[in-house]
Structure 1
């Protein structure tokens, strides 16, 4: 049986994403037209519009549609802005960020995931996103960005990520200890840094950003 992906995409927006307080029209428009199935692993394409985090290689996963929607709405890239995505994964969120911004630089620590994401982005004709095979904790961009979106959780927000923000920039990240993590928006303004709590969630840690194990004597 063939799947009507356009209908499934519409249902995802109206029944999952919008009810989770994603109401920005630009974000909803991008989610309504970006083919999530084109970025999902071939064996899982029939599940592309379900409310689950689809597994990828190396224990990675595509964010749930609702979490992708909330992340996009939180940072809300504008047409002239530059974006850094930390953790490319499938490239789906990369594509959505690219549709909202001037350019996206996305870094992915797994070479095969980076290559697959590049191919998926190219197949969709997305030319303003570049995927770099690199580990976030050993990478030096040599520039700063208006928006940073981190797709894995951190125990504490790494200072170098904040240092990559332009004045007025904003960073979306999930921080804390499982299962009670919080998504936050960090903003760089004239008064310094402001961190706003957005919602509670639970997300696998970004490699290198998990809590340091505590040893009891």
Structure 2
């Protein structure tokens, strides 16, 4: 039987720590939380590999080092209220170790139910797993200090902008050009200041595409 605790430690030491992740809280969370709990059974053996794992169409679990860097970019604080637009539920599980309250938003009720059971099995109590359209966010839990979008975006829907409190932060992977980049968007005075951080790739999430002009003959 594989020693998954050792695999988690190796993941942190060989993938996460060398990738400029310096937040000890992230490394501690990744060492403690079993990633395979949040993956389909067919992908469990790949839980600690450094690759993108396709869970469903348009849904990928980010490689551990990319996810760790994305969480670090959010600069989470202990009192934060966080919305995680989730691919697998693992990202939200990690965030619970660093923030006060977390809402994990999934595409459908079955995914939310499975995540809720996974959180309960790990005695994680400061997260709510809910289902709905990703681009609509989850207004019932707003305002949020941080929104973490685990996937690719071309634009941030207005609904999500409105759910972020003043001085809040949004992190995701921008696909507005040929090379995807992790971005931090900071809300100040109702406007968003953007900072590009590092190159990354992710599938474009439904509802996050930039509107394009219709083709005219």
Q: Which residue of 2 aligns with 1:119?
A: 117
Q: Which residue of 1 aligns with 2:81?
A: 82
| RMSD, matched Cα | 2.0
Task: Tell me if the contact between 2:180 and 2:199 (Cα under 8 Å) persists in the aligned partners.
Answer: yes
Q: 1:49-68 residue pairs with structure 2 within 5 A?
A: 49-68=48-67
The superposition leaves residues 173-204 of structure 1 with CA deviations (integer Å, 9 ceiling, x where unpaired) of: 11124641211101124695321111111210
Q: Which residue of 2 aligns with 1:172?
A: 171
What secondary structure does 1:23 align onto? coil
What secondary structure does 2:152 align onto? coil
Name the CA distance, whole Å, in 2 between partners of 1:107 and 1:191: 24
Q: Which residue of 1 aligns with 2:89?
A: 91
Give the 3 Å change call, closer, same or farther, for CA 74–150 of structure 1 in structure 2. same
TM-score, with structure 2 as normaliser: 0.90
Q: Which residue of 2 aligns with 1:70?
A: 69
Give the 3 Å change call, closer, same or farther, for CA 167–175 of structure 1 in structure 2. same
Q: Which moved more, 1:91-100 or 1:73-82?
A: 73-82
Name the CA distance, whole Å, in 1 between partners of 2:12 and 2:80: 25
User: How many pairs align?
Assistant: 215
Q: 1:1-217 residue pairs with structure 2 within 5 A?
A: 2-86=1-85, 88-138=86-136, 141-142=139-140, 143-177=142-176, 179-189=178-188, 192-212=191-211, 215=215, 217=217
What secondary structure does 2:93 align onto? helix
Task: Tell me if the contact between 2:82 and 2:102 (Cα under 8 Å) persists in the aligned partners.
Answer: yes
Task: Tell me if the contact between 1:157 and 1:175 (Cα under 8 Å) persists in the aligned partners.
Answer: no
Listed as ranges, the gaps of 5+ residues in structure 1 are none
